Amino acid sequence: MKIRLLTSLIRNALKRPFYVFYQQRLTAAARTTWKLPKHIGIILDGNRRYARDQGLSRIIDGHALGANKTTEVLDWCFELNIPVVTIWIFSLDNFNRAQDEVDEIFSLIEEQTRNHLETGTIHKKKARVKYIGKIELLPESLRKAIEEMERSTAHYDQLFLNIAIAYGGREEITDACRQYLSDGIAKGTSTDELLKNLNPDSINSYLYTSGQPDPDLIIRTSGEVRLSGFLLWQSAYSEFYFCDIFWPAFRKIDFLRAIREYNIRQRRYGR
């Protein structure tokens, strides 16, 4: 393990000057000539596998490194003035993991949330933060931190950050349909009339991301080539970018490559 780590460090040191130059070129192009997405969705995957791959003593250490990387990547998005960013940090399926790990993840998320309440680029960039998912399933202390974050950023309107936690794409669509029917019945609309008027626009207005543009680009790390339910409805015409790198090891050059790939694609929206 020590020999492999040493070899990796030497290799990275030799490559660093070339990567710095390459990254500078990509950054300049992104700021001046590239077509940029208005909404980026990110499935940050691979924290646990990174911890095992690096021989870390605890799985939560991989999640902690992933949390730091999330802050870093958000800075990159804000630097390019991407108007909307949605990050998926915890799925409903993740509740099936060992309870100790789930508890540690929630404690880490709460700690990060409270840190960002006091410092960080969220306030500097005037980013409005919204948490999407089954928030009622989270521990009370974490829910309170989330409420404070949403309340303290509610007046911002320059950038928007959605944080998907306890989130599932099927559940979001189910919730939207349920709320559409519930609101209609509360207004006295008959079931027949509600079904007659049901269309995609009816559902759109009840999604967690209602009022925001659909994601133009969705990035997933760790080598998995699937959405796993992320923004199922909204991603109908999204461009996808999958990379093999585990989330904690995701570099700015990897982020810029994803943006570059989006820039050169020709979007047809099903036409």
> Could you say which of 61, 94, 175, 204 is catalytic?
94
> Phi and psi for 77 in degrees, rounded to 5?
-65, -45
Taking the CA atoms of residue 241, residue 247, residue 250 and residue 252 in that order, the dihedral angle to the nearest 10 degrees is: 80
CB atoms within 10 A of CB 240: 19
In which residue are the tokens 């691979």 written? 46
136 Cβ contact partners less than 8 Å away, ≥ 6 residues apart: 143
Examine the residue annotation and report whether 197 is marked as an active-site residue of this protein: no
Please give the Cα distance from 229 to 115 (Å, whole number).
Answer: 29
In which order are the strands placed within the sheet that holds 84-91? 127-132, 159-167, 84-91, 39-43, 217-220, 239-242
Pick the closest to residue 163 from 228, 202, 110 (CA basis): 110
Examine the residue annotation and report whether 162 is marked as an active-site residue of this protein: no
Please give the Cα distance from 130 to 150 (Å, whole number).
Answer: 6
Residues acting as catalytic residues = 45, 94
